[in-house]
């Protein structure tokens, strides 16, 4: 199933200290609405089944995003999600009017970002208003609780529990502005770290095979698929789907690739997956070796 993270604009109304999207690109890029509609038509023709509107804060452009959601839903039957910081949900009444607008136009799901960094700029009550409005209007939602797993996040998590909200913890990605954060050693299970890798389309029309930290691998540009001004969407999807190393990331997992590349097991468990990915694929020498082995040695690493 083809899915994409659709960056309509990189503009955001707040400036979180941990933002991955920030600093890698100008923060005021935006597509034209007509162009976005044309791209969605092309994606539908390429059998896309899901779009996540993301990048900066999509709901700064509420009416335009609503039009795009409606187009996806009514014309093409594409599943839609919006990722938002809930700035628009200052009161229950305001939240209801936005949620009704989005629901009536066919939005499938809302993903609410929440963390101690977001909440320096946006009162957590807004996230609560947004979530409760989704519950009232039966719009599917979840809260993405971004954390560095420190005690500093306990009270924020408790707030979500106290209000019976649906949330999923997600590790802060140490890229973009969060690159400056102090890195705490992490020991986790020796897990595969497979990555589904949905592509990301930026407002510049550059398309990347990874929608998170990978779009910032500037030393190798490993995940850059191409630009839609020069190549068609079908061609770029195929590039993402047929690349042997990408498929090893999806199926074999980053842990096994790191082990193949010579990392010690005790070293591997100290890294989060995007950090490990950076060490493997954002280093020209290491990448050259892995590319050589993509259709050889790496094929033998499967159990």
User: Which residue, 71 or 82, has its beta carbon nearer to ligand SF4?
Assistant: 82
Let me know: does 117 contact 17? Beta carbons within 8 Å. yes
CA distance 215 to 24: 9
Phi, psi of 61 (to 5 degrees): -110, 55
Rounded least distance, CB 290 to ligand SF4, Å: 13
Kindly tell me which residue out of 72, 107, 160, 197 binds ligand SF4, with binding defined by CB under 6 A: 197
Residues 6+ apart with CB under 8 A from 288: none
What is the side-by-side order of every strand in the sheet holding 140-147? 167-171, 140-147, 109-114, 79-84, 48-55, 2-9, 200-201, 206-208, 224-227
CA distance 117 to 17: 6
Rounded least distance, CB 193 to ligand SF4, Å: 7
Enumerate residues 260-299 that contact ligand SF4 by CB under 6 A.
273-274, 277
Tokens 């083809």 — which residue?
Answer: 2
User: Which residue, 24 or 139, has its beta carbon nearer to ligand SF4?
Assistant: 24
User: Number of H helices and number of E strands within the chain?
Assistant: 11, 9
Question: Which residue, 226, 194, 224, 220, is CA-closest to 211?
Answer: 224
- Residue 148 as a binder of ligand SF4 (CB under 6 A): the answer is no
Stretch that binds ligand SF4, among 11-19, 29-37, 160-168, 198-206 (CB under 6 A): 11-19
Q: Both tokens of residue 26?
A: 């100008």
Rounded least distance, CB 238 to ligand SF4, Å: 18
DSSP 8-state class, residue 281: H
User: Which residue, 71 or 240, has its beta carbon nearer to ligand SF4?
Assistant: 240
Kindly tell me which residue out of 249, 257, 290, 298 binds ligand SF4, with binding defined by CB under 6 A: 249
- Residue 178 as a binder of ligand SF4 (CB under 6 A): the answer is no
Kindly tell me which residue out of 52, 214, 258, 290 binds ligand SF4, with binding defined by CB under 6 A: 214
The beta-strand segments (E) located in 93-156 are: 109-114, 140-147
User: Which residue, 103 or 126, has its beta carbon nearer to ligand SF4?
Assistant: 126
- Residue 110 as a binder of ligand SF4 (CB under 6 A): the answer is no
Kindly tell me which residue out of 160, 165, 210, 298 binds ligand SF4, with binding defined by CB under 6 A: 210
x/- map, 65-104, ligand SF4, by CB under 6 A: --------------------x-------------------
Q: How does strand 224-227 pair with strand 206-208?
A: antiparallel
- Residue 258 as a binder of ligand SF4 (CB under 6 A): the answer is no
Rounded least distance, CB 138 to ligand SF4, Å: 26
| Relative orientation angle of helices 124-136 and 92-104, to the nearest 10 degrees | 50
User: Which residue, 11 or 70, has its beta carbon nearer to ligand SF4?
Assistant: 11
In the complex, which residues of this chain contact ligand SF4 (CB under 6 A)? Answer: 12, 14-16, 19, 21-22, 56-57, 85, 113, 118, 195, 197, 210, 212-214, 249, 254, 273-274, 277
């Amino acid at each position: 199933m083809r899915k994409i993270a659709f960056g309509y604009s990189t503009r955001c109304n707040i400036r979180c200290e941990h933002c991955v999207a920030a600093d890698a690109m100008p923060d005021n890029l935006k597509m034209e609405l007509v162009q976005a509609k044309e791209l969605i038509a092309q994606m539908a023709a390429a059998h896309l089944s899901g779009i996540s509107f993301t990048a900066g804060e999509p709901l700064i452009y509420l009416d335009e995003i609503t039009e795009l959601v409606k187009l996806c839903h009514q014309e093409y039957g594409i599943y839609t999600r919006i990722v938002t910081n809930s700035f628009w949900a200052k009161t229950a009444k305001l939240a209801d009017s936005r949620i009704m607008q989005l629901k009536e136009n066919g939005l499938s799901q809302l993903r609410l970002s929440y963390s101690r960094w977001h909440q320096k700029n946006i009162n957590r009550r807004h996230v609560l208003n947004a979530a409760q409005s989704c519950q009232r209007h039966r719009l599917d939602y979840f809260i993405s609780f971004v954390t560095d797993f420190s005690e500093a996040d306990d009270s924020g998590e408790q707030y979500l529990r106290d209000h019976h909200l649906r949330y999923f913890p997600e590790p802060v990605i140490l890229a973009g502005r969060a690159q400056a954060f102090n890195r705490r050693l992490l020991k986790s299970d020796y897990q595969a770290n497979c990555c589904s890798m949905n592509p990301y389309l930026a407002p510049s029309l550059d398309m990347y095979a990874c929608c998170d930290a990978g779009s910032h691998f500037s030393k190798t540009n490993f995940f850059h698929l191409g630009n839609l001004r020069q190549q068609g969407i079908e061609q770029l999807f195929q590039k993402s789907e047929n690349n042997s190393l990408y498929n090893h990331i999806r199926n074999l997992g980053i842990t096994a690739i790191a082990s193949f590349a010579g990392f010690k097991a005790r070293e591997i468990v100290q890294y989060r997956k995007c950090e490990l990915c950076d060490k493997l694929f954002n280093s020209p020498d290491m990448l050259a070796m892995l590319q050589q082995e993509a259709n050889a040695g790496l094929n033998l690493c499967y159990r």
